Amino acid sequence: MTYTSTKFCNNIVCTLILLMFVTLPVANTKPATFLQDFHITWSDSHIKQLDGGRAIQLTLDQNSGCGFASKNKYLFGRVSMKIKLIPDDSAGTVTAFYMNSNTDQIRDELDFEFLGNRSGQPYTVQTNVFANGKGDREQRVNLWFDPAADFHTYSILWNHQHVVFYVDETPIRVYKNNEAKGIPFPKAQPMGVYSTLWEADDWATRGGLEKIDWNKAPFYAYYKDFDIEGCIIPGPATCTSNPSNWWEGVTYQHLDSVAARRYKWVRVNHMVYDYCTDRNRNPVIPPECLAGI
Ligand SMILES: *[C@@H]1O[C@H](CO)[C@@H](O)[C@H](O)[C@H]1NC(C)=O
């Protein structure tokens, strides 16, 4: 079926608009309201919708933390949201944003965890990658801005070539598909999108030395601009292997030179922990650490 030469649609703008609808991938229009993409999984009373459902406030107090999850699971795509983290003294709190296949034994999981800190001390972002049931791949970077002063975009790009964790436009982590070298890569199991805010003062801040100060509670984090684009599973079987999905495009298959420079800048200036160089934990360097990006 072509639309180009009919009276129905005979100019380029009209054709483009039509094509947009006809080829609309199995994905959401963006940004979505919270309830379009998500539902609350933990403590309704601690998640408040704002701005007509386009933003939410998460609360942590002595009674409870809270959490939410996507209604769908996805196989490849990009998930992003804007988050404003707990201001001032957030020590002992953890705000997490992650994808998880929820398959117990052989789970795939991609984690962003924001570890709070005492006032004036830097927030730490911990990332982890589970592929085929194996995790223990933590890396930590200290943020180069105050993530509680304003909203910033946190996103996970996931395609056949790699997984990239972004803070705004800056890649902070790349996990490459090195299956050719026998290294597992998450590609067979769809993952849901999750977020939680909870108390973890036994480990989160300075290894558990800094405790949560409940005098400062309730603690609030804010989310908005929910954007999930990807292949919904179950859905059309052809979606995940469709090379015209934008997230599989050439420009998304590797970091361009600007992104590569930013990534290097983060690693040199802001990385505070890397499992790859932790010889106590890993006397033998994990293979993916040597395989390069
Ligand atoms: C908190 O601040 C301390 C002191 O600057 C720093 O060493 C640590 O990496 C920061 N983050 C966490 C999660 O402890």
pLDDT digits (tens, 9 = 90+) for 192-237: 999 999 999 999 999 999 999 999 999 999 999 999 999 999 998 8
Residues 86/116, Cβ–Cβ less than 8 Å:
yes
Could you give the CA distance from residue 128 to residue 135 in angstroms, rounded to a whole number?
A: 7
pLDDT at 12: 53
CATH of the domain at 169: 2.60.120.200
For the chain, what is the mean pLDDT? 91
pLDDT at 1: 30
Q: Which domain holds residue 43?
A: 30-291
- Say how many Å lie between the CA of residue 207 and the centre of ligand 1: 9
The residue type at 98: Y
Q: pLDDT tier at 293 (50, 70, 90 boundaries)?
A: low
Residues 147/155, Cβ–Cβ less than 8 Å:
no
Q: pLDDT tier at 6 (50, 70, 90 boundaries)?
A: very low
Beta bridge partners of 115: 94, 124
Query: What's the total number of domains in the chain?
Result: 1
Long-range contacts of 28-32 (CB under 8 A, 24+ apart): 28/227, 28/228, 28/229, 30/225, 30/226, 30/227, 30/229, 31/224, 31/225, 31/226, 31/227, 32/226, 32/227, 32/228
- The pLDDT > 90 percentage for the chain reads 87
- Say how many Å lie between the CA of residue 275 and the centre of ligand 1: 17
Q: What is the DSSP string of 214-254?
A: GGGPSEEEEEEEEEEEEEEESS-TTGGG-TTSGGGSGGGSS
The ligand 1 atom nearest the CA atom of 206 = 14
- Say how many Å lie between the CA of residue 124 and the centre of ligand 1: 7
pLDDT at 4: 34
19 falls within a domain: no
2 falls within a domain: no
Residue nearest to atom 11 of ligand 1 (CA): 124
5 falls within a domain: no
150 falls within a domain: yes
Q: pLDDT tier at 8 (50, 70, 90 boundaries)?
A: very low
pLDDT at 24: 44
10 falls within a domain: no
- Answer yes or no: is pLDDT of 280 > 90: yes
pLDDT tens per residue, range 82-119:
999 999 999 999 999 999 999 988 999 999 999 999 99
Higher-confidence residue: 23 or 75? 75
14 falls within a domain: no
Work out the angle at residue 206's Cα, subtended by the Cα atoms of residues 268 and 135, and round it to the nearest 5 degrees: 70
Strands (E), the chain: 38-42, 47-50, 55-60, 66-70, 73-84, 93-100, 109-115, 124-130, 139-142, 152-158, 162-167, 170-176, 192-199, 219-233, 271-274
246 falls within a domain: yes
Parallel, antiparallel or unpaired: strands 55-60 and 152-158: unpaired
> Is 124 close to ligand 1, i.e. is its CB under 6 Å away?
yes
> Is 200 close to ligand 1, i.e. is its CB under 6 Å away?
no
Mean pLDDT for 269-289 is 96
> Is 273 close to ligand 1, i.e. is its CB under 6 Å away?
no
20 falls within a domain: no
